[in-house]
Chain A
Amino acid sequence: MKRSKIMEFGVGLFMLAGILGLVFLGLRVSGLGNGVGGDTFTLNANFANIGGLKVRSKVTVAGVQVGQVTGIELDPKWYDARVTMAIDSKLEGQLPRDSTAAILTAGLLGEQYVGLSLGGAPDTLKDGDTIRDTQQALVLEELIQQFVSNMVKN
């Protein structure tokens, strides 16, 4: 009886360890907890080129994550990319209307994310608004092409 209790305890610990391991993988490894929890509001931005931006990419203000990309689709009107972002609702009514969105890269080869830079206008962005002033992703090939063609011209 005593032995069987120890065994049952061991199996219980084993199952518990497995579940804790899964929680660790979820939170620490896949960064599930990093997404903005709680209430969010939606902002849109059209980019000429999104480069390697993906759904679930970060949205930051001054390098601090404030939201994530929830949708990317082709806008059939202008043939540019329409990026939908979920932003922490604490910032609703705080971001000036002339804020700009840029697609930035973390490090030389890192992931791409959306960086918001605040403007100075008195009226603010609300749920479902679109950020007008955007800066497309830096595509290395285009950069090199420009560099080469400038070299040839000079």
Chain B
Amino acid sequence: MSDEHARRRGASRRPPVRQVVALGRGTLDMIDALGRAGLFLMLSCLGIPSREGIRLWLRQMHFVGVMSLAIVLVSGLFIGMVLALQGYTILVDFGAEDALGQMVALSLLRELAPVVSALLFAGRAGSALTAEIGLMKATEQLTSMEMIGVDPLRRVIAPRLWAGFVSLPLLTIGFSVVGIWGGYLVGVEWLGVFEGSYWSNMQGSVGFVADIGNGLVKSLVFAMVVTWIAVFQGYDLIPTSEGISRATTRTVVYSSLAILGLDFVLTAMMFGEIG
């Protein structure tokens, strides 16, 4: 009786053991990757930038920031216009269309500008960074740099990281400005909200530190996360054509999830307490 019991238990224990082993391996792999990513971030960001480093950074600013300007500004314009249109149709029922400026500005500054610019940035610049660095790795350019004594972390990675950190907050500012202007075009010029109340309600409710400052903090956090993920995925991929395509996809997926998840956490921390 007890023999049979033990045998049955032994038989049923084997598959779970394998799964537990797999779980353990997965966890160790994850911690390993996190550690590598952290070390990677630290090693690339530290170090005094040389004159050459600033030139490299400028080139990346051009690619990551200036070239993303068009898509971010156009999206911002349309989002501001849609917000004004939607907001107007709801607010006009309560006779509160004067609060349109406040609604447009607050939703842009607090949420939409940081999140949407970061998502666009991940799609436009993040994926390109991953693919570029991945191809460098696949064609062994990074290894060759190491062989001639150039540190690829400082030469290739650091300028891209810093370019991302600086340009996303700037893009977010552009998004907000253009969005508020788009809201003005639709709300004031088209739907006939009184111009004075559009701006004065906005000024009465938007706080410089509470809304604009917190929005910028958000976009700075997103910038760090997105650029870090993009660059690390490129640096850490399996150097084959399939590996590059996988890593590019992972960059966009991980960045988007990280942006949306972090956005909730940051919002809860910044605006969570009522008042």
B174/A17 in contact, CB under 8 A: yes
Does the CB pair A111–B204 fall under 8 Å?
yes
A33 to B202, CA, bound (A): 13
Check: B180 CB closer than 8 A to any chain A CB: yes
Interface size on A, residues (CB 8 A): 30
A14 surroundings in chain B (CB, below 8 A): 61, 65-66, 69, 167, 170
B177 on the A face (CB < 8 A): yes
**A129 within 8 Å of B (CB atoms):** no
The 8 A CB mask of A1-36 against B (1 = contact, 0 = none) is 000100110110111011001101110111110100
Q: Do A31 and B177 have beta carbons less than 8 Å apart? A: no
Main secondary structure of the interface of B (DSSP, over half): helix
- A38 interface contact, C-beta 8 A: no
Chain B residues contacting A10 (CB-CB under 8 Å) are 62, 66
User: Who on chain A is nearest to B166 by CB?
Assistant: A15
User: In the complex, A26→B215 CA distance in Å?
Assistant: 13
Q: Does A108 contact B (CB under 8 A)?
A: yes
Most chain A CB inside 10 Å of its own CB: which residue of B66, B176, B200, B204: B204
Determine the chain B residues whose CB is within 8 A of the CB of A32 once the complex forms: 208
Residue of B nearest to A28 (CB): B199
**When A8-B58, A109-B96 are in contact, do A34 and B203 touch as well, CB less than 8 Å?**
yes
Cα A56 to Cα B98 with chains together (Å): 20
Min distance, Cβ A3 to any Cβ of chain B, angstroms: 10
**Does A122 belong to the interface (CB within 8 Å)?**
no
Cβ–Cβ < 8 Å partners of B95 in chain A: 108
Return the chain B residue nearest A22 by Cβ: B173
A residues near B, CB below 8 A? Answer: 4, 7-8, 10-11, 13-15, 17-18, 21-22, 24-26, 28-32, 34, 56-58, 106-111
List 13 additional A-B contacts (Cβ < 8 Å) besides A15-B166, A28-B203: A4-B55, A7-B58, A11-B61, A11-B65, A13-B66, A18-B170, A21-B177, A24-B177, A26-B212, A29-B202, A58-B204, A108-B95, A110-B197
